[in-house]
Amino acid sequence: MQLTGIACSSSAIHGGGCMITALYLPEMGLVGTLNDLSFSALVTLTSLNFSLNQLDGSIPSVIAALSKLTSLDLSENQISGSIPSTLGNLTKLRTLDLSQNNLSGSIPKELRSLKSLLSNLSSNVLNGSISYEIGHLFNLNELDLSRNDIAGLIPLSLENLTKLTILYLWDNKLSSSIPHEIGHLSNLNKLSFGNNSIEGPIPSSLGNLTKLTVLYLWSNKLSGFIPHEIGHLSNLNKLSFSNNSIEGPIHSSLGNLTKLTVLYLWSNKLSSSIPPEIWHLFNLDKLSFAENNIEGPISSSLGNLTKLSFLQLWDNNFSVFIPPEIGYLSNLNELDFSSNSIAGPIPSNLRNLTKLTFLYLWGNKLSDSIPDEIGNLSNLNELDFSYNSIAGLIPSSLENLTKT
């Protein structure tokens, strides 16, 4: 028997009654608190989903009466207070989603009893540290603690969670370094430690995580070089080490990451020139090396990256001229070469970049006149050629740029 959002066990139906096994009521406009429920009357529940409602108040400790529960989803409500330690009594739980609420306090150590679990506690105001006991969740497949106020170290015990496929700790207050032991999590598919205060080098052991498709370490205090072992991550689709203090050259081994669609290394201390192997990453959609100390000419091989929609090389030491092959990048939406030492004329074949909405070339040594063909870029919203050595008249074709 099943009513709207309510499932009953057919074997338990007697005289028109039933034993409720599931409450599935997302996006139903529910208000009030969980204390309004009679948990003692729902002990047969295996699944409870009240997500995307307007519930407030706290999670009552008597929720532990639901001992048969395998799935609990209270995400996207306005629930506050702490996570009750009695959740650790729900040893059959396989899925726990408390994300996007206003939960506070630390993560209870008692949750270590939940041996098999997909856990999403993201987007709350949880604080404290990640307990060492988290390493007891041997069958954990996904762990998302992102967008909280969790501080302290990344516990070494995470190395025990060898079944993890997703580990999101981004947007917290974590400090110290990335443990070398993270490299033991060989089943990881997505890893994000972005926007914390993590320092020290990027461990070479990350090169062992060959199933990774996403690796985000952006906005930390990481230093040292990019380890060449990162080039072993041949399944990577998205890589961001941006906004750190990483130095040295861009390692040529990144050219092995042929599945990359996003490569962000902006705002570091990278130097030397861009290795030619980078221009063989034909699947790139977004590329930013902005705010570094990279020098040398912009390679004509840039024209190979025909899938690019976003290209930022601003605030570096690039010189010589803009290669005419830039005109092959017909999918570009944003192009920013500003604040470099690029000389020579503005190439007329920029006219091919008809999808451009942002074109920034300011703060260079560009000369000659603005080519008439710039007027073909009818989708431009912003255009900035200031602080150059451009001469001549402003072409009348710029009147076509009605969106700027």
pLDDT, residue 3, reads: 46
42-64 per-position pLDDT tens digit: 999 999 999 999 999 999 999 99
Tell me, rounded to whole angstroms, the distance of Cα 397 from its chain centroid. Answer: 41
Q: Which domain-ending residue is among 149, 174, 199?
A: 174
| pLDDT, the chain, mean | 94
- Domain holding 364, by residue range, is 294-404
Domain membership flag for residue 108? yes
Q: Among residues 153, 174, 195, which one ends one of the domains? A: 174
- Condensed to tens digits (0 to 9), the pLDDT of residues 220-278 reads 999 999 999 999 999 999 999 999 999 999 999 999 999 999 999 999 999 999 999 99
Per-residue pLDDT of 4-52, as tens digits, reads 667 776 654 445 567 889 999 999 999 999 998 888 889 999 999 999 9
**Are 308 and 332 contacting, i.e. CB atoms less than 8 angstroms apart?**
yes
Domain assignment present for residue 182? The answer is no
- Which of 128, 159, 174 is the last residue before a domain boundary? 174
Domain annotation covers residue 187: no
Residues 308 and 167 in one domain: no
pLDDT in tens, 271-319: 999 999 999 999 999 999 999 999 999 999 999 999 999 999 999 999 9
227 occurs within a structural domain: no
Percent of the chain exceeding pLDDT 70 equals: 96
Q: Where does 272-369 show beta strands of DSSP type E?
A: 286-288, 295-297, 310-312, 317-319, 334-336, 343-344, 358-360, 365-366
Q: Does 74 map to a domain?
A: yes
Q: Can you name the residues that pair with 47 across neighbouring β-strands?
A: 22, 71
CB 83 within 8 A of CB 108: yes
Span 81-100, pLDDT tens digits: 999 999 999 999 999 999 99
Q: How many CB atoms lie within 10 A of CB 98?
A: 24
* 4 contacts: CB under 8 Å, gap ≥ 6: none
Q: What amino acid occupies position 338?
A: S
Examine residue 229 and state whether it is found in any structural domain, yes or no. Answer: no
Q: Quick one: 2 and 131 in the same domain?
A: yes
Model's pTM, two decimal places?
0.94
Rg (CA), the chain: 27
More reliable by pLDDT, 400 or 171? 171
User: Domain of 356: which CATH number?
Assistant: 3.80.10.10
Asked if 218 and 202 touch (Cβ cutoff 8 Å), the reply is no
Rounded-to-integer distance, Cα 20 and Cα 38, Å:
13
Q: Is residue 250 part of a domain?
A: no
In sequence order, what DSSP letters do the residues of 220-283 get, joined into one string? Answer: SEEES---GGGGG-TT-SEEE--SS--EEEPPGGGGG-TT-SEEE--SSEEES---GGGGG-TT
Looking at the structure of the chain, the number of domains it has is 2
For 119, 289, 292, 307, 336, the CA distances from 229, given in Å and listed in that order, are 30, 20, 22, 26, 30
What is the model's pLDDT at position 18? 73
**Distance in angstroms (rounded) separating the CA atoms of residues 263 and 328:** 20
In a domain, residue 251? The reply is: no
Q: Is 21 helix (H, G, I), strand (E, B) or coil?
A: strand
